[in-house]
Copies of this chain bind each other. A is one copy, B any other.
């Protein structure tokens, strides 16, 4: 592999001049520039990244912590993050935590060892107390989640409202016995939605039975299980609020298996408006989240923080304009 010295030698110039051409510096004569360009082409020269990084202390790489790649919600989120990253010349290092706190802490070392310029968290598996030590040595942005005590930038929607409008929708359809599903792990947004659910129920003077809470429902198969559990209840709920369209799909599938009519016997409301929501019959009523946009905003936020670090004087014009778009 050719180095900058090889190019300099072939062009009959110094390494600095080559470097200047490489980085589009002004004050380089056209003549020398051409000489350098030709030499680079001749040698098929590509600047060595690690050397550049070591020198500049910038990796142009962002780590994205994701619980599970195969969860469609997160792949759409990642897609949004990637869109903005690519546009701005950033690379993405994918870190699957697999809901594992230790893995998460492990990945934080990427920041310590300067392998990435920043970290975007799309889930949080540890208490913020255990994390905050890492967050101090580089920009961390939390995306679609939040943690008690975390004082880092944060992009997310009003999930209390999401839980509220979903539940209200069911109540207005005439339901009184409404169950509530969410994933198992400690999640700020799940708690918020639960708050919204309770808020709506209270507002309409409805009391919640403890048996209506299903707090370990994260995917399609969980949904099926929940439906079977509900089926066996003496007085079963007539509607369910779920934290994801996957769970909703599972419930609907199993309901049909059990000979129930959806939504007459059991009404289901999903979350996120993922493709699956319109693929099954009947289609799932769902709360749309602009997942892609959330991802984009998180990355934009990250970039603006990085730019600000480099040039603390000029504030970058950042426009965060997320809104809840509900389509029940």
Contacts and interface: CB of A to CB of B under 8 A. Distances in A.
Interface string A23-52: 000000000000000000000101111110
Interface in A53-80: 53-54, 59, 61, 68-70, 72, 75-76, 78-79
A64 B78 CA distance: 15
A131 interface: no
Contacts of A75: 69-70, 72, 75
A275 interface: yes
Contact of A94 (B48, B51, B94, B114): B94
Given A75-B75, A93-B91, A115 B281 contact: no
Nearest to A63: B91
Contact of A93 (B53, B70, B92): B92
A79 B72 CA distance: 12
B59 A82 contact: no
A50 B46 contact: no
A93 B96 contact: no
B220 A279 contact: yes
Contacts of A94: 78, 82, 92-94
A50 B114 contact: yes
Interface in A69-119: 69-70, 72, 75-76, 78-79, 82, 86, 91-94, 96, 109, 112-115
Copies of this chain: 2
Interface residues of A, number: 42
A323 interface: no
Nearest to A44: B112
A253 interface: yes
Given A82-B96, A276-B276, 11 more contacts: A48-B113, A49-B115, A50-B54, A72-B72, A72-B75, A79-B96, A86-B96, A91-B93, A93-B93, A93-B94, A279-B280
Closest 9 A/B residue pairs (Cβ): A46-B112, A50-B53, A49-B115, A50-B54, A46-B113, A49-B113, A50-B50, A69-B79, A75-B75
